[in-house]
Amino acid sequence: MRLASFSTPDNPRVRVGLVLNDEIVDAAQGARALGFAVPDQMQALIEQYGQAERGLRALLEQAQQANGRLSAIPALQGSGLVQPLSAVQLAAPIPRPRKNIMCLGLNYAEHARESAAARGRQAELPQYPVIFTKAPTTVNGPYGDVVIDPAVSTQIDWEVELAVILGKGGKHIREDEALSYVFGYTVLNDISARDLQAQHQQYFRGKSIDGYCPMGPWIVTADEIPDPQRLTLRLRVNGVTKQEASTDQMIFSIPRIIAVLSNGMTLEPGDIIATGTPSGVGFARTPPEFLRPGDIMETEIVEIGVMRNRIVGVEETR
């Protein structure tokens, strides 16, 4: 199923919605109308999914009996709980993660090679996952504006990535059991300030500018993606494809990543893991390319969905 965080013009409170085709229903209120209890916030829903799943499945089953329309479920007709997707505002699926987003660098061989070449270094593929984090304040919605402030950075780059959302906590998780800990998957753009990366000689500062982590448009639950190593990633700027690859090109698979991260460190429900970007980033191009105000950036995983973020100058936000 597809689960989003959304608000409406008449109710700006962000809450969980269940998405089906071109409609979205308030998950908590819709499930209540059918006699079930579902949390209205994504973090709580993930933590309580064992109980909440029954209500969500009931909504889907009744919609399927009503020609695939949530709005045609008898208990919801005239309730105002179902809206066209076009009429709501989608936030990031987890609007404010309670922890930093865990990220992998150089997890696609061609990206590792292009990065080394751009920096004038000999390409060496990592023997172990390269791990860093992004601050929770980087999170942005799937259609939110991305602000460029030249006083902060003038080398803003794109990175399409598959993000893994954990549904269970654990420590010392075995690789062959790792996928059973996954709640679902979403699209993530690890927007990066390359000049700050170079200045500080590490990832965190250049990866943690406010709003530089669009996520969404929703979480697709793990049962609908049986093999996350067979997904197609794409990124376009102003309609021009800059990145296109498959997750089967990862150096370290998702089970391996989870096993490594959990080795001595407890992972928790709602943790977000960005699994790395393929080749085609801007700083490694000849000549280098960076985002500019007025650009439209589309970040897509074909089996999940598409985000569309407008790049704006800081003066437009004042």
pLDDT single digits (tens) 178-212: 999 999 999 999 999 999 999 999 999 999 999 99
Query: CA 272 to CA 188: how far, in whole Å?
Result: 10
Q: How many structural domains is the chain composed of?
A: 2
Residue type at position 193:
A
Residue 131 backbone phi and psi in degrees, to 5? -115, 135
Query: CA 11 to CA 227: how far, in whole Å?
Result: 37
**Is 56 in the same domain as 81?**
yes
Pick from 291, 123, 132, 279: which is nearest to 211 by CA?
A: 291
What's the predicted TM-score (pTM) here?
Answer: 0.97
**Is 297 in the same domain as 209?**
yes
Q: What is the mean pLDDT of residues 282-310?
A: 98
Which domain range does residue 154 map to? 101-317
Query: CA 33 to CA 307: how far, in whole Å?
Result: 31
Residue 79 backbone phi and psi in degrees, to 5? -85, -20
**Is 251 in the same domain as 153?**
yes
Q: Are 243 and 114 in contact (CB under 8 A)?
A: no
pLDDT digits 0-9 by tens, 5-34: 999 999 999 999 999 999 999 999 999 999
**Is 226 in the same domain as 288?**
yes
Kindly tell me if the per-residue pLDDT of 224 is higher than 90: yes
Buried b (16+ CB within 10 A) or exposed e, 50-61: eebbebbebbbe
Pick from 34, 22, 36: which is nearest to 73 by CA?
A: 34
**Is 16 in the same domain as 144?**
no
Kindly tell me if the per-residue pLDDT of 123 is higher than 90: no
**Please, which residues bridge with residue 220 across strands?**
2, 185
The kind and range of the H/E element at 6 are: strand 2-8
**Is 38 in the same domain as 110?**
no
Query: CA 37 to CA 318: how far, in whole Å?
Result: 42
**Dihedral (CA of 53, 216, 222, 183) sign:** negative
Choose the final residue of a domain: 90, 117, 149. 90
Choose the final residue of a domain: 58, 90, 122. 90
Choose the final residue of a domain: 90, 121, 154. 90
**Is 26 in the same domain as 111?**
no
pLDDT value at residue 54: 98
Place of tokens 């500062």: 205
Is cis: bond before 129, omega within 30 of 0? no
**Is 46 in the same domain as 126?**
no
**Is 204 in the same domain as 293?**
yes
Is cis: bond before 287, omega within 30 of 0? yes
pLDDT digits 0-9 by tens, 55-93: 999 999 999 999 999 999 999 999 999 999 999 999 999
> Cβ of 126: how many Cβ atoms within 10 Å?
14
**Is 155 in the same domain as 236?**
yes
- The CATH code of the domain that includes 249 is 3.90.850.10
**Mean pLDDT of all residues in the chain?**
97
Query: CA 225 to CA 260: how far, in whole Å?
Result: 22
Query: CA 158 to CA 142: how far, in whole Å?
Result: 14
Q: Is 97 helix (H, G, I), strand (E, B) or coil?
A: coil
